[in-house]
Structure formats: C-alpha cells, structure tokens
Structure 1
Amino acid sequence: MQLQNEIDSLGSSNIQIRNWKEEADECWALSTQNAPLTTILEIGLFESSQRLALDARGWLETSGTSVQMAFTLYICRSIPQIIIKHYELSFRQCSIESRASPSSASCVETVSITRQNNTTNVSGDLRIPFRKFTNRNISPNNQLERDLFTPGHKLQRLGEKVWRLQGFI
C-alpha cells in the first residue's frame, strides 16, 4: 500500500500517556516527529485474557491518547487456542443523557484459532481499518489503499507456528 513512509513500527515500547504508563508488545505510529500512536498489539502468554482487555481499554480510554485501535492476542498455555480481539472506542450506551458522552473501548471483532483432532480451525479473517491505522481516509487516487485483511489461512499458519513452539504439534 506504499505506507512505508507514513507508518513506523516502534516494536516493544514503553509509552506514557499523562499519568498512565504501559509497555506495548508492538505499536505503530505515524512517521512524523512526535508521531501519535495509532495501533497497539498486546500479546498474552502469561497474562489472562481479562488483563489483556484491561490493557486494551487503557490504551484507548486514557485521556490524551491517540491510539485508534488495540489488538490483543491471547495464547492459551494448556490447550492449542489463540484468541485475537480488536478493540476500538465507541460511545457509551447509558440511560442518562448528557452533553458529553464519554467513549469507552469495546471489542468490535474476535477471531479464534483452535486445534482439535489434528485440524486447525479459524473462526474468520481479521480486518484492520485503513483509516484508523493511518489516521487518514483512503485516497481515491491510490487503488492499493484499502482496509488490511489477514485471511484465515494466514492466521491458521500463525497458530500452528505458535503451537509447534509450545509443543502441541
């Protein structure tokens, strides 16, 4: 998509947003000076899926954050199972109306990768919205720009690689 000059991978980075501090397992930012982060990946092999969800919420809900999306990848240690969740901000649904409805992070997509009877199953593809990843709309003049898709067969290979390292395969 010719984004190599627009997006930088910052790897595992310690990030501080006001009083909140966290280390991302992987993060991406715009390729500008003092670039705002757009996307975070948290991987949990020794963390619970609940802890990963709290981390995702922190990245998205902390006042002053520029993060548009947070992805969590939970790797189960006892069975061959990987759960990928995609979080974004959404408006809170509450019965009391106010002028300022605070946003909250919610899971907008879940993909599970499992293995039973020597067969790997993937529940779907993973979609990463271009606009939120790059912090801009798709250019009508560039046909390469579109939402990023990771098809199920690539997620299957990822799962099987992880499970070989874990000794499940």
Structure 2
Amino acid sequence: MDFLHSISNVPPSSSSELSSVESESTDTLVQLTKETKQQPFTTNRSLQKSLEHLQQALQQDQTSDQYLVFTSVPLKQHSKLSDDRSQTSKYSRLSYNVETQILIAKVMANPTHELAIRSFDLLISLELRAMNVHREVKPFGSTTVEIGNWKKEADCCWAPALTNTRLSLVVEVGLSESARRLALNARGWLETYSSSVKLVITIGIKRETPEIIFHRWELVSRGYGVQTRSSPLPAYRTAFLKLSRTNNTTIVTGESYLNGTITATTQLDLSFNKVVGRPPHQPLERDLVISEQELRIFAEDIWGEQNFL
C-alpha cells in the first residue's frame, strides 16, 4: 500500500500520485496552479461562466477535474467572488495569491460534496460537545483566511476560540479522481508560511463505486533534511482509512502512523492538543475519535445520496 511507503520514506516499486506529492519540496499551492490549465482573467462574468460550466460538467459526469486556475485576477474581484452573498461562493472554494494575482477555484461537484462537509462538521461538533470544549473551538465553515501570500477557503475548518481565525483543523472534500490535487491542497494548508493549521483531513469520494478514502495530514519531523523559515516541517499523511461496500456490508479498513510504528485502525483519531490548542487536563478531555460505526453511517449517508444503496 502506498501509505506504508509514504511514512517509511522507502520509494514504492510503482510510484503512486500521493507518494509523489509527499516527496515534492516545491510550494505545493504553486505546483497545483502549474498542474491545472490556466486562463487569463477578463471579466467577472466570464470567470463566473467558466465556473458554472465546470459545475455543470461535473454534475453530468463529463469530467472529474474540479479545479480551474485564473491569472491576473485583481484583488477587488477576488473579494467580490469570495463574498458570502456571491453566488460563486455557494459552489466553489477559492485560493488567491495576492502577490501573483493567481486564483485557484475548486468547484463542488454535486450535493454529495455538501452532504459530506455537513456530516463531518457535525461529527466534530459532537466530539467537542462530548468533552465540553465546544466553546473553546469555533467552527468557521468556508471562511476566507490568510496564510502567507494566500487567501484561502476550506470546505470546513475550526480554530481555538481565543485565536479568532488562526485555524487548527481543516477539511477538504473532493472526488477521488482528484486525489493528487487534494493532497497538494492539504500540504498547502500545513506548509505555507504563517499557517497555523495543525491537521488536515482529506475525504475523497468515488462516483462510480461506493468507496470513500480518508487521509489525515500533519507536519511531521523526520529528523533529517534542511528546515527553512517558510517550511519548518514537511507535511505527511499520518493515517489512511478506506470505506467500501461489499455484499451489502460497509467495511472500514485503515492504518495509522505514530512514533515510527504502523498500526491497523478502523477509526479516525485527531489530537486534542492540535485541535483545541492546549493539552487535555479535565477527565472528559481526550483525543477526538470518529469511531468505526460513525464512519459507516457517514459513508452510507453519502452512498444513499449517490443512489448506491
């Protein structure tokens, strides 16, 4: 499995797209723009039409590519597009570089995408409430935040309440066919200079078969290499979970990496310290856990929306 190779740093016999993402040292958000067809900005209306056409193509299964990149986009146009009152903001997530004026748009494919976001948001909220720390961590949805030269929107995100929008946890949902771009986005959240993000969860949803892939991404010290001011630590996947359907039964399989050890797991664990911004010190406080049963329900809700059940 490529996950094993990614955390042991042993090159796989046949390279996978995600392992290649982890080995790249370039600015991953810049890399994302290079791997996506770019088109120059002309007018706000023209840009919106391009996004609408992509949304329609995704809904009609004419493409699996969720991303568009626009060059020379004025800052004021990005502000209009990302405004909550803008129609564009309702079905796309924007990343904008104020220095290069490059805009990356991730278009949400269909209602399944939105259902996954809302369902996972609820799971995190329930965990925070179970530990009575929900007032310490604020949900910020797709709020635009600044990291380095970028203004970015996540599918959903959270931040310790005292830090305002200094995000700690980010979730990105996408089509599994866009796994590499989801991975580049995850690394961008973690590695970009001045980012406060500690954890990123990517959720890849297949459209042709009932299968969902979770990855947990974190900044991980490898004890070698040159650390720089702009990227003090590299981001790696530290957990992999696969949800699939066989003989009318939902199966959860996965692996987690911790302190150099690989262990099998069927639940998604999130560090309390990294999410809340402090160590646990009350009896109820512990790492956040999305259990196997909760993952099954999450998956079956998605597959119901996709007409697989």
The answer to whether the superposition gives a TM-score over 0.5 is yes
Task: State the partner residue of 2:238.
Answer: 108
Q: Which residues in structure 2 correspond to 1:3-152 (within 5 Å)? A: 3-32=133-162, 34-45=164-175, 48-92=178-222, 94=224, 102-123=232-253, 124-139=266-281, 142-152=282-292
CA distance in 2, matches of 1:150, 1:75: 18
- Residue 45 of structure 1 deviates from its aligned partner by 3.2
- Greater shift after overlay, 8-17 or 80-89? 8-17
Please name the residue that 1:167 is paired with.
307
Q: Tell me by how many angstroms 1:138 deviates.
A: 1.0
Q: 1:27, 1:5 → 2: CA distance? A: 15
Shift of 1:150: 1.1
Q: CA deviation at 1:72?
A: 0.5
The 3-state SS of whatever aligns with 2:280 is coil
CA shift in 2, pair 1:47/1:15, >3 Å: farther
**Distance apart, 1:148 and its partner CA:** 1.0
Q: State which structure, 1 or 2, has the greater radius of gyration over its C-alpha atoms.
A: 2
User: For residue 306 of structure 2, what is the amino acid of its counterpart?
Assistant: Q
Identity %: 40
Q: CA deviation at 1:102?
A: 3.4
* Structure 1 stretches lacking a partner, 5+ long: none
CA distance in 2, matches of 1:163, 1:98: 42
Runs (4+) of structure 1 moved beyond 3 Å? Answer: 96-102
C-alpha separation in 2, matches of 1:125 and 1:18: 33
Q: Which structure: greater helix fraction? A: 2
Aligned amino acid, residue 138 of structure 1: P
Q: How far apart, CA to CA, are the structure 2 residues paired with 1:68 and 1:98? A: 17
Change (3 A) 1:138 1:79: same
Question: Partners of 1:102 and 1:66 in 2: how far apart?
Answer: 12
| Structure-2 change in CA distance of 1:14 and 1:156 (3 Å) | same
Do structure 1's residue 154 and structure 2's residue 284 form an aligned pair? Answer: no
Q: Select the structure that is richer in strand.
A: 1
- SS at the partner of 1:32? helix
User: Using a 3 Å threshold, how does the CA distance of structure 1 residues 166 and 5 change in structure 2: closer, same or farther?
Assistant: same
Deviation at 1:13, TM superposition (A): 1.9
CA–CA distance in structure 2, aligned partners of residues 17 and 98 of structure 1: 19
Q: Once the 2 structures are TM-superposed, how far is the Cα of residue 98 of structure 1 from its aligned partner?
A: 7.2
Q: What is the Cα deviation at residue 118 of structure 1?
A: 1.3
CA shift digits 1:125-159 (9 cap, x unpaired): 110110100111111xx100001111111101111
Q: Give me the TM-score of the superposition, normalised by structure 1.
A: 0.90
